[in-house]
Structures are given as C-alpha cells and as structure tokens.
Amino acid sequence: MKNKLMVSFLALVLVACGSSGSIELTKQEKEKVNGDVNVARQLLVQKAILKDASAEKLSEDDQYNLNLAKQEVEVSYYLQKKFESELNNIQVSEEEAQKYYDIHKAEIGNTPFETIKEAIINEIIYQKQTEIVHKYYDDLAEKYKINDILNKEYPQEAANIDNTKTEEK
C-alpha cells in the first residue's frame, strides 16, 4: 500500500512540476526522498523527461488522454487516502473463514482448511474492501444523480443496464 501511495505521490509531483526553469528537488521532495539517492535520481530523471515532453506539441487526443491519466491518478490517490484506515483494518474471524470454506467446498476440493485458510482470509478481505468502495460509488451515483444523467444522455443503453441489474437480483 505504501508503494502505491509513493507511486501516486510521485505521479502527482511529476504532473505539478511543469516546464519552467531548471530541474531541482523542492524542499518537500527532499523530505520525501529522505536521503535516498536512487529515489532522488528517479525523481530528477522524471522531471527531466517531463521538461522535454513539455516542449512537444500534443495533439488534442494526446492532451485528452494525458488529462484522463492525471484524473485517474488523482482518483486512485484520493480513494487510497479516503479509505486507507478502513480498508487496512478489516478483520476476518476464524468462523467467517470456516463458513466461506464450507460454502465453497465443492470449488475448493479436498484441500484442508488450514492449508488455504490464509488465502480464504485474503479473499474475504478483498470482498469486504470491494463492498466498501462500491458502496461509495453507489452513494456518489445517488448524490450526483448519475443514473438520471445516463438515462438522459444514453436512454437505450441505460435501459439495457437497468434491465441487466434487475435480472441479477
């Protein structure tokens, strides 16, 4: 998780560094690098690449794709920060793991519970994390009336999606 946060942080720093002046590490970057010359080198090389890239004329499609990539990094970073504590503190009891094992015994086969207990716990944690994030997505869809927007902009496609969701229930 810390590696993902560092990558996201570096990506955001790179987006912000722009093209003016020479390349150098800011005070905040020096603190984040914490004396690690390899991380500092990587950051400086990335800044140099961005400086060269800023001189390139981007097509409208390239600019759109770049902005989309920036948004994806920002969203990913925001979600990690927003749910970091909640997602990292999910607990799975022995009983939950055993129940999952019993329900999925046909799929699992003859593998003893103790042998795959850790994998089962990880699967349950993943499912719970996914539920937390999906609930947030659903809350956002309600708050910002996303389904109304889709129904207005794409009436036929939105109707097909609604029918599929109804059938799944």
Amino acid at 38: N
Res 99: pLDDT: 97
List the structure tokens of 27.
Answer: 């005070």
Amino acid at 168: E
Q: Which residue has the tokens 């309600």?
A: 142
> Please, which residues have CB within 8 angstroms of residue 33's CB and are 6 or more apart in sequence?
25, 39, 40, 43
Res 17: pLDDT: 47
> Please, which residues have CB within 8 angstroms of residue 14's CB and are 6 or more apart in sequence?
46, 47, 50
Name the percent of the chain lying above pLDDT 70: 81
Res 121: pLDDT: 97
Res 19: pLDDT: 42
Mind listing the pLDDT tens digit for each residue in 27-71?
999 999 999 999 999 999 999 999 998 889 889 999 999 999 999
Res 158: pLDDT: 66
Mind listing the pLDDT tens digit for each residue in 92-148?
999 999 999 999 999 999 899 999 999 999 999 999 999 999 999 999 999 999 999
Helix-strand-coil split of the chain, %, nearest 5: 80, 0, 20
Amino acid at 60: E
pTM to 2 decimal places: 0.64
The whole-angstrom separation of Cα 63 and Cα 70 is: 11
Statement: residue 75 has pLDDT above 70: yes
